[in-house]
Amino acid sequence: MKNVQLTRRQMLKGFGAGMGLIALAACAPVAPGAAPAASGDSAAAPSTEKVTAVFWSSFTGKNSETETELVKRFNEGQEDVALDYQFQGTYEETAQKVTAALQAGTAPDFTLLSDVWWFKFYLNQTLLPLDDLLTAENVDLADYQDSLINEGLRQGQHWWMPFARSTPLFYYNKEKWAAAGLPDRGPETWDEFMEWAPKLVEMDGTEVKTSAFAHPDGASYIAWLFQGVAWQFGGSYSDPDFTMHLADEKTVAAGQFYKDSVHTYNWARPSKDITADFVGGFTAASMMSTGAMGGVKTNATFDFGTAFLPKKEQFGCCTGGAGLAILSTSAEETRAGAMKYIAFASSPEQTTFWAKNTGYMPVRKSALESQEMQDYFTEFPQFKTATDQLALTKPQDSARVFVPNGDQIIGKGLERITVQSEDVATVFAEVQTILDEEAIPVVEALQAVEG
Protein backbone atom coordinates (compact mmCIF):
# COMPACT_ATOMS: atom_id res chain seq x y z
CA MET A 1 0.00 0.00 0.00
CA LYS A 2 1.24 3.44 -0.81
CA ASN A 3 0.98 4.63 2.75
CA VAL A 4 3.08 1.80 4.07
CA GLN A 5 5.71 2.37 1.43
CA LEU A 6 5.96 5.97 2.37
CA THR A 7 6.42 5.24 5.99
CA ARG A 8 9.04 2.58 5.23
CA ARG A 9 10.89 5.08 3.14
CA GLN A 10 10.78 7.54 5.95
CA MET A 11 12.00 4.94 8.39
CA LEU A 12 14.87 4.05 6.15
CA LYS A 13 15.68 7.70 5.76
CA GLY A 14 15.76 8.07 9.49
CA PHE A 15 18.05 5.08 9.96
CA GLY A 16 20.18 6.13 7.05
CA ALA A 17 20.60 9.54 8.55
CA GLY A 18 21.62 8.07 11.83
CA MET A 19 24.11 5.69 10.26
CA GLY A 20 25.42 8.40 8.04
CA LEU A 21 26.04 10.70 10.92
CA ILE A 22 27.91 8.06 12.85
CA ALA A 23 30.04 7.33 9.81
CA LEU A 24 30.63 11.01 9.31
CA ALA A 25 31.63 11.54 12.88
CA ALA A 26 34.07 8.73 12.59
CA CYS A 27 35.81 10.16 9.58
CA ALA A 28 35.31 13.86 10.20
CA PRO A 29 38.38 15.83 9.23
CA VAL A 30 40.80 16.34 12.08
CA ALA A 31 40.27 19.95 12.99
CA PRO A 32 43.57 21.72 12.56
CA GLY A 33 42.53 24.41 14.97
CA ALA A 34 41.26 21.99 17.56
CA ALA A 35 44.51 21.96 19.44
CA PRO A 36 47.68 23.93 19.14
CA ALA A 37 50.66 22.82 17.09
CA ALA A 38 50.92 19.55 18.95
CA SER A 39 48.22 17.95 16.80
CA GLY A 40 49.57 19.82 13.81
CA ASP A 41 52.82 18.05 14.47
CA SER A 42 51.27 14.62 14.37
CA ALA A 43 49.29 15.50 11.27
CA ALA A 44 52.56 16.39 9.55
CA ALA A 45 54.17 13.26 10.93
CA PRO A 46 56.24 12.22 7.93
CA SER A 47 58.93 14.86 8.41
CA THR A 48 59.70 14.91 12.09
CA GLU A 49 61.40 18.31 11.97
CA LYS A 50 58.69 20.25 10.19
CA VAL A 51 56.45 22.32 12.39
CA THR A 52 52.97 23.48 11.43
CA ALA A 53 51.92 26.92 12.48
CA VAL A 54 48.29 27.97 12.28
CA PHE A 55 47.82 31.45 10.85
CA TRP A 56 44.49 33.31 10.81
CA SER A 57 43.79 36.26 8.57
CA SER A 58 41.05 38.57 7.35
CA PHE A 59 41.64 39.09 3.65
CA THR A 60 39.10 38.37 0.99
CA GLY A 61 38.99 38.61 -2.77
CA LYS A 62 42.13 39.74 -4.51
CA ASN A 63 43.96 40.56 -1.29
CA SER A 64 43.49 37.01 -0.19
CA GLU A 65 44.91 35.69 -3.43
CA THR A 66 47.99 37.80 -2.85
CA GLU A 67 48.36 36.62 0.72
CA THR A 68 47.90 33.01 -0.38
CA GLU A 69 50.77 33.56 -2.79
CA LEU A 70 52.90 34.97 0.01
CA VAL A 71 52.21 31.94 2.18
CA LYS A 72 52.97 29.67 -0.74
CA ARG A 73 56.30 31.36 -1.38
CA PHE A 74 57.13 31.05 2.27
CA ASN A 75 56.15 27.40 2.56
CA GLU A 76 58.08 26.48 -0.54
CA GLY A 77 61.07 28.58 0.37
CA GLN A 78 62.07 26.73 3.49
CA GLU A 79 61.81 23.35 5.15
CA ASP A 80 61.29 24.12 8.80
CA VAL A 81 57.79 25.48 8.94
CA ALA A 82 54.53 24.78 7.13
CA LEU A 83 51.87 27.43 7.51
CA ASP A 84 48.24 26.50 7.79
CA TYR A 85 46.65 29.68 6.58
CA GLN A 86 42.90 30.34 7.01
CA PHE A 87 40.51 33.22 6.44
CA GLN A 88 38.25 33.95 9.41
CA GLY A 89 36.09 36.90 8.44
CA THR A 90 36.51 40.65 8.62
CA TYR A 91 38.99 42.29 11.01
CA GLU A 92 36.19 42.35 13.56
CA GLU A 93 35.15 38.75 13.09
CA THR A 94 38.71 37.52 13.19
CA ALA A 95 39.14 39.26 16.53
CA GLN A 96 35.89 37.70 17.79
CA LYS A 97 36.99 34.28 16.72
CA VAL A 98 40.40 34.63 18.29
CA THR A 99 38.69 35.67 21.52
CA ALA A 100 36.33 32.71 21.44
CA ALA A 101 39.15 30.40 20.51
CA LEU A 102 41.27 31.66 23.40
CA GLN A 103 38.42 30.87 25.73
CA ALA A 104 38.09 27.42 24.26
CA GLY A 105 41.78 26.72 24.06
CA THR A 106 41.76 26.40 20.29
CA ALA A 107 43.51 29.61 19.35
CA PRO A 108 45.81 29.85 16.32
CA ASP A 109 49.54 30.36 16.67
CA PHE A 110 49.58 33.78 15.14
CA THR A 111 47.05 36.03 13.54
CA LEU A 112 46.36 39.24 11.70
CA LEU A 113 44.86 41.89 13.96
CA SER A 114 43.71 45.34 12.93
CA ASP A 115 44.65 48.64 14.49
CA VAL A 116 41.67 48.72 16.85
CA TRP A 117 41.81 45.10 17.94
CA TRP A 118 45.37 44.11 18.79
CA PHE A 119 45.58 46.17 21.95
CA LYS A 120 42.76 44.29 23.60
CA PHE A 121 44.72 41.06 23.30
CA TYR A 122 47.84 42.77 24.55
CA LEU A 123 45.98 44.07 27.58
CA ASN A 124 44.83 40.60 28.48
CA GLN A 125 48.36 39.34 28.12
CA THR A 126 47.54 36.96 25.33
CA LEU A 127 50.19 38.32 22.99
CA LEU A 128 53.83 37.36 22.93
CA PRO A 129 56.53 40.04 23.19
CA LEU A 130 58.45 39.64 19.99
CA ASP A 131 61.88 41.14 20.56
CA ASP A 132 63.77 37.94 21.36
CA LEU A 133 62.31 36.30 18.29
CA LEU A 134 63.04 39.39 16.20
CA THR A 135 66.66 39.35 17.25
CA ALA A 136 66.92 35.64 16.57
CA GLU A 137 65.64 36.25 13.05
CA ASN A 138 67.97 39.22 12.55
CA VAL A 139 65.14 41.52 11.66
CA ASP A 140 66.26 45.04 10.87
CA LEU A 141 63.81 47.03 12.96
CA ALA A 142 65.27 50.36 11.94
CA ASP A 143 64.25 49.70 8.36
CA TYR A 144 60.55 49.69 9.22
CA GLN A 145 58.57 52.87 8.77
CA ASP A 146 58.73 54.55 12.15
CA SER A 147 55.09 55.43 12.58
CA LEU A 148 54.07 51.91 11.63
CA ILE A 149 56.38 49.96 13.88
CA ASN A 150 56.08 52.31 16.83
CA GLU A 151 52.37 51.80 17.04
CA GLY A 152 53.00 48.26 18.26
CA LEU A 153 55.62 49.24 20.82
CA ARG A 154 54.77 48.92 24.50
CA GLN A 155 57.09 48.73 27.48
CA GLY A 156 60.03 48.84 25.11
CA GLN A 157 58.97 45.64 23.36
CA HIS A 158 57.29 44.96 20.06
CA TRP A 159 53.93 43.17 20.24
CA TRP A 160 52.39 43.93 16.88
CA MET A 161 54.31 43.97 13.61
CA PRO A 162 53.15 46.04 10.63
CA PHE A 163 52.00 44.10 7.61
CA ALA A 164 48.92 45.46 5.84
CA ARG A 165 49.04 49.12 6.70
CA SER A 166 47.13 51.95 5.14
CA THR A 167 46.69 55.65 5.64
CA PRO A 168 44.08 58.18 4.64
CA LEU A 169 44.77 59.93 1.37
CA PHE A 170 43.20 62.81 -0.50
CA TYR A 171 41.71 61.68 -3.81
CA TYR A 172 40.49 64.08 -6.46
CA ASN A 173 38.80 63.80 -9.82
CA LYS A 174 41.14 65.38 -12.37
CA GLU A 175 38.40 65.96 -14.91
CA LYS A 176 36.28 67.93 -12.49
CA TRP A 177 39.34 69.76 -11.27
CA ALA A 178 40.15 70.83 -14.81
CA ALA A 179 36.57 71.79 -15.53
CA ALA A 180 36.66 74.09 -12.50
CA GLY A 181 39.92 75.59 -13.64
CA LEU A 182 41.90 74.33 -10.67
CA PRO A 183 45.61 73.41 -10.74
CA ASP A 184 46.27 69.71 -11.07
CA ARG A 185 47.19 69.05 -7.47
CA GLY A 186 45.53 68.58 -4.13
CA PRO A 187 44.85 71.60 -1.95
CA GLU A 188 47.73 72.56 0.31
CA THR A 189 45.45 73.61 3.10
CA TRP A 190 41.81 73.33 3.99
CA ASP A 191 41.55 77.09 3.58
CA GLU A 192 42.66 76.70 -0.01
CA PHE A 193 40.11 73.96 -0.51
CA MET A 194 37.44 76.25 0.90
CA GLU A 195 38.13 78.55 -2.03
CA TRP A 196 38.07 75.74 -4.54
CA ALA A 197 35.09 73.83 -3.28
CA PRO A 198 32.26 76.09 -4.41
CA LYS A 199 33.62 75.86 -7.97
CA LEU A 200 33.44 72.09 -7.83
CA VAL A 201 29.82 71.83 -6.77
CA GLU A 202 27.52 71.00 -9.66
CA MET A 203 23.85 71.65 -9.29
CA ASP A 204 20.96 69.99 -11.04
CA GLY A 205 18.23 72.52 -10.56
CA THR A 206 17.98 72.94 -6.82
CA GLU A 207 19.58 69.60 -6.11
CA VAL A 208 23.26 69.03 -5.66
CA LYS A 209 24.38 66.69 -8.40
CA THR A 210 28.03 66.60 -7.51
CA SER A 211 29.48 67.72 -4.24
CA ALA A 212 33.03 68.86 -3.73
CA PHE A 213 33.64 66.44 -0.89
CA ALA A 214 32.01 63.50 0.86
CA HIS A 215 32.03 62.18 4.43
CA PRO A 216 31.50 58.47 5.17
CA ASP A 217 29.29 57.24 7.98
CA GLY A 218 30.38 55.86 11.33
CA ALA A 219 30.47 52.27 10.13
CA SER A 220 32.77 53.27 7.28
CA TYR A 221 35.41 54.69 9.59
CA ILE A 222 34.69 58.40 9.59
CA ALA A 223 36.38 58.47 12.98
CA TRP A 224 39.57 57.21 11.36
CA LEU A 225 39.57 59.87 8.67
CA PHE A 226 38.66 62.67 11.03
CA GLN A 227 41.58 61.84 13.31
CA GLY A 228 44.05 63.45 10.93
CA VAL A 229 41.85 66.49 10.55
CA ALA A 230 41.70 66.94 14.31
CA TRP A 231 45.51 66.86 14.37
CA GLN A 232 45.69 69.33 11.52
CA PHE A 233 43.63 71.78 13.53
CA GLY A 234 45.96 71.40 16.49
CA GLY A 235 43.64 69.15 18.45
CA SER A 236 43.48 65.40 18.95
CA TYR A 237 41.30 62.61 20.33
CA SER A 238 43.50 61.84 23.33
CA ASP A 239 46.94 61.51 24.81
CA PRO A 240 48.66 58.16 25.26
CA ASP A 241 47.68 58.25 28.92
CA PHE A 242 44.01 58.46 27.94
CA THR A 243 43.52 62.11 28.78
CA MET A 244 40.74 62.96 26.37
CA HIS A 245 40.95 66.01 24.12
CA LEU A 246 37.87 65.64 22.05
CA ALA A 247 36.13 68.51 23.80
CA ASP A 248 39.15 70.79 23.46
CA GLU A 249 38.68 74.03 21.59
CA LYS A 250 40.83 73.04 18.64
CA THR A 251 39.26 69.62 18.16
CA VAL A 252 35.85 71.24 18.35
CA ALA A 253 37.01 73.70 15.71
CA ALA A 254 37.87 70.78 13.44
CA GLY A 255 34.44 69.34 14.09
CA GLN A 256 32.88 72.67 13.35
CA PHE A 257 34.69 72.66 10.03
CA TYR A 258 33.21 69.27 9.19
CA LYS A 259 29.75 70.41 10.19
CA ASP A 260 30.01 73.63 8.25
CA SER A 261 31.24 71.85 5.15
CA VAL A 262 27.90 70.06 5.05
CA HIS A 263 25.42 72.45 6.56
CA THR A 264 26.81 75.96 6.11
CA TYR A 265 28.99 75.96 3.02
CA ASN A 266 27.07 73.10 1.40
CA TRP A 267 29.96 71.70 -0.55
CA ALA A 268 30.21 68.39 1.30
CA ARG A 269 27.72 65.57 1.73
CA PRO A 270 27.48 62.53 3.97
CA SER A 271 27.61 59.36 1.91
CA LYS A 272 26.87 55.69 2.34
CA ASP A 273 29.76 54.61 0.16
CA ILE A 274 32.35 57.29 -0.58
CA THR A 275 34.31 55.06 -2.92
CA ALA A 276 31.26 54.36 -5.07
CA ASP A 277 30.34 58.03 -5.03
CA PHE A 278 33.81 59.09 -6.05
CA VAL A 279 34.01 56.54 -8.83
CA GLY A 280 30.52 57.45 -9.96
CA GLY A 281 31.40 61.11 -10.17
CA PHE A 282 29.08 62.21 -7.38
CA THR A 283 31.84 63.82 -5.43
CA ALA A 284 34.82 65.63 -6.83
CA ALA A 285 37.11 64.72 -3.98
CA SER A 286 37.20 62.64 -0.85
CA MET A 287 39.55 61.31 1.78
CA MET A 288 39.78 57.55 1.47
CA SER A 289 42.07 54.78 2.52
CA THR A 290 45.16 54.11 0.40
CA GLY A 291 43.68 50.65 0.18
CA ALA A 292 40.91 51.95 -2.06
CA MET A 293 43.33 53.00 -4.76
CA GLY A 294 43.31 49.76 -6.69
CA GLY A 295 39.56 49.65 -6.94
CA VAL A 296 39.34 53.29 -7.91
CA LYS A 297 41.91 52.78 -10.64
CA THR A 298 40.00 49.83 -12.06
CA ASN A 299 36.55 51.31 -11.92
CA ALA A 300 36.90 55.02 -12.50
CA THR A 301 36.21 56.22 -16.00
CA PHE A 302 38.26 59.33 -15.37
CA ASP A 303 41.78 60.20 -14.41
CA PHE A 304 42.20 60.64 -10.69
CA GLY A 305 44.88 62.22 -8.60
CA THR A 306 46.07 61.71 -5.06
CA ALA A 307 47.56 64.17 -2.66
CA PHE A 308 48.70 64.60 0.90
CA LEU A 309 45.96 65.44 3.34
CA PRO A 310 45.49 69.20 3.44
CA LYS A 311 46.97 71.12 6.35
CA LYS A 312 45.35 73.58 8.65
CA GLU A 313 47.70 74.74 11.35
CA GLN A 314 49.94 71.81 10.55
CA PHE A 315 50.05 68.52 8.73
CA GLY A 316 48.37 65.53 10.31
CA CYS A 317 47.84 62.00 9.06
CA CYS A 318 47.29 58.78 10.95
CA THR A 319 48.08 55.16 10.19
CA GLY A 320 45.65 52.29 9.84
CA GLY A 321 45.24 48.78 8.60
CA ALA A 322 46.39 45.59 10.27
CA GLY A 323 49.45 43.85 11.58
CA LEU A 324 50.62 40.48 12.76
CA ALA A 325 50.90 39.23 16.32
CA ILE A 326 51.86 35.92 17.89
CA LEU A 327 49.61 34.58 20.64
CA SER A 328 51.10 33.66 23.97
CA THR A 329 49.13 30.41 23.90
CA SER A 330 51.11 29.19 20.93
CA ALA A 331 53.41 26.23 21.39
CA GLU A 332 57.15 26.85 21.76
CA GLU A 333 58.04 25.08 18.52
CA THR A 334 55.76 27.17 16.40
CA ARG A 335 56.91 30.56 17.58
CA ALA A 336 60.15 30.67 15.68
CA GLY A 337 58.28 29.54 12.59
CA ALA A 338 55.65 32.22 13.04
CA MET A 339 58.35 34.85 13.39
CA LYS A 340 60.02 33.54 10.27
CA TYR A 341 56.86 34.24 8.34
CA ILE A 342 56.35 37.63 9.91
CA ALA A 343 59.86 38.59 8.99
CA PHE A 344 59.35 37.17 5.50
CA ALA A 345 56.03 38.89 4.85
CA SER A 346 57.37 42.26 5.95
CA SER A 347 60.72 41.89 4.24
CA PRO A 348 61.53 44.50 1.58
CA GLU A 349 60.92 42.19 -1.39
CA GLN A 350 57.67 40.74 -0.10
CA THR A 351 56.28 44.00 1.20
CA THR A 352 56.82 45.42 -2.28
CA PHE A 353 54.98 42.48 -3.80
CA TRP A 354 52.19 42.87 -1.26
CA ALA A 355 51.90 46.63 -1.77
CA LYS A 356 51.83 46.38 -5.53
CA ASN A 357 49.05 43.83 -5.51
CA THR A 358 46.84 45.12 -2.74
CA GLY A 359 47.37 48.85 -2.35
CA TYR A 360 48.49 48.58 1.24
CA MET A 361 51.63 50.54 2.12
CA PRO A 362 55.07 48.98 1.94
CA VAL A 363 56.22 48.78 5.54
CA ARG A 364 59.95 49.08 4.86
CA LYS A 365 61.92 52.16 4.07
CA SER A 366 64.32 50.22 1.85
CA ALA A 367 61.42 48.87 -0.16
CA LEU A 368 60.72 52.36 -1.38
CA GLU A 369 64.17 52.63 -2.86
CA SER A 370 64.08 49.35 -4.73
CA GLN A 371 64.06 49.35 -8.52
CA GLU A 372 60.84 47.40 -8.57
CA MET A 373 59.10 50.03 -6.54
CA GLN A 374 60.56 52.84 -8.61
CA ASP A 375 59.22 51.20 -11.76
CA TYR A 376 55.88 50.82 -10.11
CA PHE A 377 55.85 54.50 -9.28
CA THR A 378 56.18 55.41 -12.94
CA GLU A 379 53.27 53.14 -13.72
CA PHE A 380 51.20 54.34 -10.84
CA PRO A 381 52.25 57.81 -9.70
CA GLN A 382 49.24 58.13 -7.44
CA PHE A 383 50.72 55.40 -5.29
CA LYS A 384 53.97 57.32 -4.88
CA THR A 385 52.08 60.16 -3.24
CA ALA A 386 50.83 57.72 -0.66
CA THR A 387 54.27 56.32 0.11
CA ASP A 388 55.74 59.82 0.29
CA GLN A 389 53.11 60.72 2.86
CA LEU A 390 53.91 57.65 4.89
CA ALA A 391 57.01 59.15 6.43
CA LEU A 392 54.94 62.00 7.84
CA THR A 393 52.31 59.85 9.52
CA LYS A 394 51.88 59.30 13.24
CA PRO A 395 50.44 56.40 15.21
CA GLN A 396 46.80 56.74 16.20
CA ASP A 397 45.31 58.22 19.36
CA SER A 398 44.49 55.88 22.21
CA ALA A 399 40.84 56.95 22.29
CA ARG A 400 40.19 55.38 18.93
CA VAL A 401 42.36 52.31 19.06
CA PHE A 402 42.61 51.38 22.71
CA VAL A 403 39.18 52.19 24.13
CA PRO A 404 36.67 49.39 23.45
CA ASN A 405 34.29 50.50 20.70
CA GLY A 406 36.18 53.81 20.60
CA ASP A 407 35.95 54.08 16.83
CA GLN A 408 32.18 53.66 16.87
CA ILE A 409 31.65 56.01 19.80
CA ILE A 410 33.50 58.80 18.05
CA GLY A 411 31.94 57.83 14.73
CA LYS A 412 28.43 58.22 16.09
CA GLY A 413 29.36 61.63 17.41
CA LEU A 414 30.63 62.64 13.99
CA GLU A 415 27.43 61.40 12.42
CA ARG A 416 25.53 63.66 14.77
CA ILE A 417 27.31 66.68 13.36
CA THR A 418 27.52 65.74 9.70
CA VAL A 419 24.29 63.82 9.13
CA GLN A 420 22.30 65.67 11.69
CA SER A 421 23.43 69.12 12.52
CA GLU A 422 23.85 69.23 16.26
CA ASP A 423 26.05 71.65 18.11
CA VAL A 424 29.62 70.46 17.88
CA ALA A 425 30.78 71.51 21.33
CA THR A 426 27.85 69.77 23.00
CA VAL A 427 28.22 66.58 21.01
CA PHE A 428 31.97 66.33 21.49
CA ALA A 429 31.59 66.98 25.20
CA GLU A 430 29.07 64.14 25.45
CA VAL A 431 31.27 61.81 23.44
CA GLN A 432 34.23 62.70 25.60
CA THR A 433 32.28 61.81 28.73
CA ILE A 434 31.51 58.41 27.26
CA LEU A 435 35.12 57.92 26.23
CA ASP A 436 36.32 58.85 29.69
CA GLU A 437 34.03 56.30 31.22
CA GLU A 438 34.85 53.52 28.76
CA ALA A 439 38.56 54.17 29.25
CA ILE A 440 38.48 53.50 32.98
CA PRO A 441 38.70 49.69 32.81
CA VAL A 442 41.43 50.00 30.18
CA VAL A 443 43.49 52.29 32.37
CA GLU A 444 43.05 49.91 35.29
CA ALA A 445 44.05 46.91 33.22
CA LEU A 446 47.00 48.82 31.81
CA GLN A 447 48.22 49.61 35.29
CA ALA A 448 47.97 45.97 36.21
CA VAL A 449 49.96 44.93 33.17
CA GLU A 450 52.49 47.71 32.88
CA GLY A 451 52.57 49.00 36.42
Partner 1 sequence: MQIITISKPQVISRWAGQRNNWFAIGLGYVGMLLCLLIIGLPVYWMIIGAFKNTQEVYRIPPTWIPAEPTLANFGNAWNSAPFGRYYINTLITTIFGSTFEIFFAVTSAYAFVFLRFPKKDWLFLVLLATLMVPGQVTILPNFLTVSRLGWVNSYQGIVIPGASVAYGTFLLRQYYRTLPIEILDASRVDGSGHLRTLWAIVLPLAKPAIVSFALLSIVSKWNDFLWPLIVTNTRDMRVLPIGIYWLLVEEGTIDWGVVMAGTLFVVLPVVLVFLYAQRYIVDGIAAGAVKG
Partner 2 sequence: MQLSNSLPKSEVINTRRRQTSASERREWLLFALLVGPNLFLFGLFTYWPLIYNTYLSFVRWDMLAPVKIWVGLGNYRFLFASPGFAKILSNTVVFTFASVLLTCALGLLIALLLNQPLAGRNAARSIVFSPVMLSGAAIGIVWIYIFDPRYGLLDIFIRFVGLRSPNWLLDTNWAMPAVIIVYVWKNVGYAVVIYLAGLQAIPRELYEAALVDGASAWARFRRVTIPGLSPVIFFLVLTTILAGFQTFDVIKVMTDGGPVDATTTLIYYLYQEGFVGFNAGRAGVAGVVLFVAMLAFTIVQMRYTERNVNYA
Which lies closer to partner 1 via its Cβ, residue 60 or residue 374? 60
Q: Segment near partner 2 (CB under 8 A), from 22-30, 59-67, 359-367, 402-410?
A: 402-410
Can you tell me the distance from the alpha carbon of 234 to that of 253, in angstroms, rounded to the nearest whole number? 9
The binding track of 266-285 with respect to partner 1, each residue x by CB under 8 A or -, is ---------xx--xxxx---
Can you tell me the distance from the alpha carbon of 275 to that of 299, in angstroms, rounded to the nearest whole number? 10
* Among partner 2, partner 1, none, partner that 271 touches (CB below 5 to 8 angstroms by kind): partner 2
Specify whether the CB–CB gap between 255 and 417 falls below 8 A.
yes
Can you tell me the distance from the alpha carbon of 347 to that of 366, in angstroms, rounded to the nearest whole number? 9
Does 415 interact with partner 2 (rule: CB under 8 A)?
yes
Does 105 interact with partner 2 (rule: CB under 8 A)?
no
Residue ranges in 32-61 that form contacts with partner 1 under rule CB under 8 A = 32-34, 56, 58-61
Specify whether the CB–CB gap between 338 and 326 falls below 8 A.
yes
Does 445 interact with partner 2 (rule: CB under 8 A)?
yes
Can you tell me the distance from the alpha carbon of 365 to that of 142, in angstroms, rounded to the nearest whole number? 9
Can you tell me the distance from the alpha carbon of 60 to that of 306, in angstroms, rounded to the nearest whole number? 25
Crossing angle of helices 61-77 and 348-358, rounded to 10°: 160
* Among partner 1, partner 2, none, partner that 408 touches (CB below 5 to 8 angstroms by kind): partner 2
CB of 7 vs partner 1, minimal distance in Å: 4
Which lies closer to partner 2 via its Cβ, residue 76 or residue 207? 207
- Dihedral (C-alpha) 126, 127, 129, 133: value to the nearest 10 degrees? 120
Please count the residues of this chain forming the interface with partner 2, following the rule CB under 8 A.
29
Q: Segment near partner 1 (CB under 8 A), from 16-24, 328-336, 366-374, 381-389?
A: 16-24
Exposure string of 420-446, with b = 16+ CB inside 10 Å and e = fewer, is: eebebeebbeebbebbbebbeebeeeb
The binding track of 277-316 with respect to partner 2, each residue x by CB under 8 A or -, is -----x----------------------------------
Residue ranges in 331-390 that form contacts with partner 1 under rule CB under 8 A = 359
Does 176 interact with partner 2 (rule: CB under 8 A)?
no
286 CB-side CA count, 13 A: 29
Task: Write out the DSSP string of 106-121.
Answer: ---SEEEEETTTHHHH
Residues making contact with partner 1 (CB under 8 A):
3-4, 6-7, 10-11, 13-14, 17, 20-21, 24-25, 28-29, 31-34, 56, 58-64, 84, 86-91, 93, 96-97, 100-101, 103-106, 108, 166, 275-276, 279-282, 289, 291-292, 294-296, 298-299, 301, 321, 359
